[in-house]
Amino acid sequence: MKELKILAVLAVLVGITYYGIEPYAHHEMHPPVAPADFTYNGKQEVALYTKTMDEKLVAATENVAVQTAELAKATDAKAKEAITKKLEKAKSEVATLPETAKAEAQRRTDFWKTANHTAALEGNVTNGKVLVDANCIACHGIDAAGMPMAISNADAAASYGVVPPDLSSAATIYDAKYLAAFIASPVDAMHIQEKYSPESGKTFPMPSYNWMQPQEIADVVAYLKSLSVKKLEGKEAHKATFEAACGRCHSMQYAKFESTTPADALKTYMGTTPPDLSQYIKSRGEHYLHDFINDPQALLAGTAMPRVGLTEVAQHDVIAYMEEIGDPKKDERISLGIYTLAFTLVFAILGYLWKRKIWSEVH
């Protein structure tokens, strides 16, 4: 009986740790974020932007109070002048941030509303091909249409910073609403407005095609959908989707796959070298990757990785491939774990019965 009481105490302590302390610690270290959003209607992005601007307003307001207090304590004329400049700047931010944020939130809302409307239009494949031939194939290849990229990967990376994607599977792996948004304005679609803001002085390699009419963009998307791409399933589909969606920037050493963009060009373009993804399924975990791939900025604001606009199916393929390469023994390990637990339980029962028999006289 004493052993059962000890077991009960241990079970309670482990339960408190596993279901109470650990989740609380995880919650504190990893604040909850909005779940992966495959609607591509902009609502979640606008909500995140509004929240960020509200936090900036609070910080600016606190800065006004700090600078006001510093000015009151200052006695040196030069110090007062410097603090006064900081105070005026902080007051200016407090005065302008609300209207600026409101206007930008509305612009982003309207942008995604237009993209969703465009994606719903019935496109003309023939006109879409004309538009693609005139505007896209100078930089992009379309292997499915017998049009390889006009220049080498090295030259493309030197010219644009990153190798432009082949468009053969674009309509298969990318959401149609995202594609419509991307064609109109890549920076807005990829959720990297801050990195390529007017103040940054940086220009995204691909220009915006917002001069096109919504119907013309719908025609381009229709043409991309019409491309005859061999339908793959299982591991073949996982590999092909990963290479198309991630392979321009990320390598997978365990799969003997190198990114199509040279590492030195990527570091210049991104500001950092994108990580090899061989073990990311273990170091980050499936749930984190599910949210992060969908919208990196939502989990890690300011990260160099843009939103790539995958469909839910395509994102599943990417994560599945990362798992197949980085954790190929997962199913076997889980299966073996069940047998191990069963063996442990049987051994514990036998050990308890043996102990009762040997020590029965003492008890």
Contacts (Cβ under 8 Å, ≥6 apart) of 127: 216, 219
Note the pTM of the prediction, 2 decimals: 0.84
Residue 280 lies in a domain: no
Structural domain for 24, as ranges: 1-31
Render pLDDT for 223-260 as a digit per residue (tens, 0 to 9).
Answer: 999 998 888 899 999 999 999 999 999 999 999 999 99
Render pLDDT for 306-362 as a digit per residue (tens, 0 to 9).
Answer: 999 999 999 999 999 999 999 998 888 888 888 888 998 998 888 888 888 887 776
97 plus 81 within the same structural domain: yes
In the prediction, which pLDDT does 26 show? 61
Residue 80 lies in a domain: yes
Show the beta-strand stretches assigned E in 152-249: none
* Domain end among 75, 102, 129: 102
In the prediction, which pLDDT does 22 show? 66
Residue 50 lies in a domain: yes
73 plus 85 within the same structural domain: yes
80 plus 53 within the same structural domain: yes
Token pair, residue 297, equals: 């900025």
Q: In the chain, how many domains are there?
A: 2
CA distances in angstroms from 190 to 35, 40, 50, 79, 84, listed in the order given: 17, 11, 17, 43, 39
What is the residue-wise DSSP string for 67-107? HHHHHHH--SHHHHHHHHHHHHHHHHHHHHHHHHHHHHHHH
Residue 53 lies in a domain: yes
Quickly count: other Cβ atoms within 10 Å of residue 115's Cβ: 27
How far is C-alpha 53 from the geometric centre of its chain's CA atoms?
21
Residue 26 lies in a domain: yes
* Domain end among 102, 129, 145: 102
* Domain end among 54, 83, 102: 102
14 plus 66 within the same structural domain: no
Residue 167 lies in a domain: no
